[in-house]
Chain A
Amino acid sequence: MSERFTKGMARNIYYGGSVFFFLIFLALTYHTTKVMPERDHRENITEAVAHGKELWEENNCIGCHSLIGEGAYFAPELGNVYIRRGGEAGFKAFFNGWMKAQPLNIPGRRQMPNFHLTDKEIDDLAEFLKWTSELDTNDWPPNVEG
């Protein structure tokens, strides 16, 4: 058995198998990007949402928080924070107050820094989090706590 199964055969399985499955991966990726617009509602990406994403990145929010489960696990999930913290009725007021109250300076509690954002910037970040909360994530997270 091991004499008949040669190195050449093993090599062919490696090259052939990898190329074959990589092509399937590319095909599925192509299909996924075609149907993604129905799920990401990209028509709702306003200038404020786009700027909010830049602020999200330039302040390294992902270094403590997760966004749809990806990122750090030191601070709450923010993909659905818009829903958790008041939604249409109350989120923006809550969020502005929250950002300005940092750092909370409660001894022993995990500290969020103050990023010194302007009201406009806080509003753009809120728009980004609102848009994110409307993404179709196949019903993740399981409950509102994220």
Chain B
Amino acid sequence: MNTLKYQSQAVAKPYFIFALILFVGQILFGLIMGLQYVVGDFLAGAIPFNVARMVHTNLLIVWLLFGFMGAAYYMVPEESETELYSPKLAIILFWIFAAAGVATILGYLLVPYSTLAHFTLNDLWPTMGREFLEQPTITKIGIVVVCLGFLFNLGMTMLKGRKTAINMVLMTGLIGLAVFFLFAFYNPTNLALDKYFWWFVVHLWVEGVWELIMGAILAYILIKVTGVDREVIEKWLYVIIAMALISGILGTGHHFYWLMTPDYWQWVGSIFSAIEPLPFFAMVLYAFNMVNRRRREHPNKAATLWALGTSVMAFLGAGVWGFLHTLAPVNYYTHGSQITAAHGHMAFYGAYAMIVMTIISYAMPKLRGIGEANCNRAQVREMWGFWLMTVAMVFITLFLTGAGVLQVWLQRLPESGEALSFMVTQDKLAIFYWLREIAGVFFLIGLISYISSFWVKDKIAS
């Protein structure tokens, strides 16, 4: 059965499938790292912690990028009311990106990082060895090429079709993503400059342009599942992303408190990042309001659940947990502690992993030719996955927060001489790390449940 409005939307399917495969990999490596936190020598020879972490974080970034690209390929033809400019280019870029991604991850796993650096000629243009930007320079160039082709394809599609606010916001977000990634190629010898501009990629991605992408996807889904008037949904989309950028751009300052920068950043960063939870709170009101005002009962209950869930979890993870340690006098003690890790986990899951699963939940039944929605049994299984993963992530965050508070108490607050050392402190946090690992296992069970829902069929049909 063909259930797609525009046939070229089908190119989104491999992107979504590959994203979910990488997601599984990300969680497996997360569990390895979580165990290494308490059993320090676990797999220490085969997969040292730094390698596991690199795989964990890079898989996250890459699967979210696959998810965003799949979302764009799915949404843009429908929003523009025209076929994609070149479905063939989208498929070619899929294979290039997938091959480059797999080769890079294998490089991390199979050879020492310094060997990978020499082998990929890092000394010609050193860009490696910085957090989240560990990819060999050649991979980074590949990412830029894929992004350019992707933006060209979408741009050409939009030019010949209808220009909606959702399309414009999505495109601005994606162009911003590509532009700010260029700072990954700037790696001066001076660490002070290196660190300052490193945040132009990291912060202006996740607390800037990625929020535009998230907002656009959420608005699209809300229109589809609620039937509320596009004018209303797009108006509030603009309000939310306006708040996101107005607070988020100068909110970058909360990373500059301790970085060889003038102290006015402590004021600028504190004030503007204190506003950063607002757009996320607005997003919760927006999602629940639109669903309450719905004009139709969409059969895909799971997609609606994801849409509501992502707004709530993004608010908690990015908004509340971000605010917890964003004020300069607090951050002085919490900077680079397990509190940062707690925030990072819930924010990435809530805002970005969940928005990608929202669009996947909505689009996959159509892409697979099933119809508007999966059968009830499959949706129930999917919702089990939703609740297990989401509740597990809440607990991961709470346990890491507990670890962080104790870490600050023992290691940061006392004076030199009285404070415990890092390693001694870590031993005292073991119980929290064990609980976090158990919560992580529940997350994996949730993920398995979620993935398995793709194979669940209606009783009558089977």
A residues apposed to B, CB below 8 Å: 5-7, 10-11, 13-14, 17-18, 21-22, 24-25, 28-29, 31-33, 35-36, 39-40, 42, 45, 49-50, 53-54, 56-64, 66-77, 103, 105-111, 113, 115, 132, 135-138, 140-146
Q: Choose the segment among B63-71, B187-195, B362-370 that binds chain A (4+ C-beta atoms closer than 8 Å).
A: B187-195
Q: How far is the CA of A18 from the CA of B246 in the complex (A)?
A: 6
A74 touching B36, Cβ below 8 Å: yes
Question: Does chain A have a CB within 8 A of B102?
Answer: no
With contacts A18-B249, A60-B113, A109-B41 taken as known, whether A143 is within 8 angstroms of B412 at the C-beta atoms is yes
Q: How far is the CA of A5 from the CA of B421 in the complex (A)?
A: 56
Write out the residue numbers on chain B whose beta carbons fall within 8 Å of the beta carbon of A40. 190-193, 260
A115 touching B249, Cβ below 8 Å: no
Q: How far is the CA of A13 from the CA of B340 in the complex (A)?
A: 32
Question: Does chain A have a CB within 8 A of B335?
Answer: yes
Interface centre among A35, A60, A76, A103 (most CB of B within 10 A): A60
> Closest chain B residue to A24 by CB distance?
B250
Write out the residue numbers on chain A whose beta carbons fall within 8 Å of the beta carbon of B338. 73
Q: List 21 A-B contacts (CB under 8 A).
A: A7-B231, A10-B239, A14-B245, A28-B268, A40-B192, A60-B51, A60-B113, A60-B128, A60-B134, A63-B49, A63-B131, A68-B258, A69-B258, A70-B131, A73-B340, A74-B33, A74-B37, A77-B422, A135-B192, A137-B259, A137-B260
With contacts A11-B165, A74-B36 taken as known, whether A32 is within 8 angstroms of B421 at the C-beta atoms is no
| Prevailing SS type, chain B contact patch | helix
Contacts A40-B193, A57-B117 supplied; 7 other A-B pairs, CB < 8 Å:
A10-B236, A50-B189, A53-B189, A59-B114, A64-B48, A111-B41, A138-B261
Write out the residue numbers on chain B whose beta carbons fall within 8 Å of the beta carbon of A39. 192, 260-261
B340 to nearest A CB, angstroms? 7
B249 touching A25, Cβ below 8 Å: yes
Q: How far is the CA of A5 from the CA of B232 in the complex (A)?
A: 10
With contacts A57-B126, A74-B53 taken as known, whether A14 is within 8 angstroms of B238 at the C-beta atoms is yes
Q: How far is the CA of A21 from the CA of B271 in the complex (A)?
A: 13
Write out the residue numbers on chain B whose beta carbons fall within 8 Å of the beta carbon of A36. 192-193, 196, 260-261
A63 touching B51, Cβ below 8 Å: yes
B131 touching A71, Cβ below 8 Å: yes
B195 touching A68, Cβ below 8 Å: yes
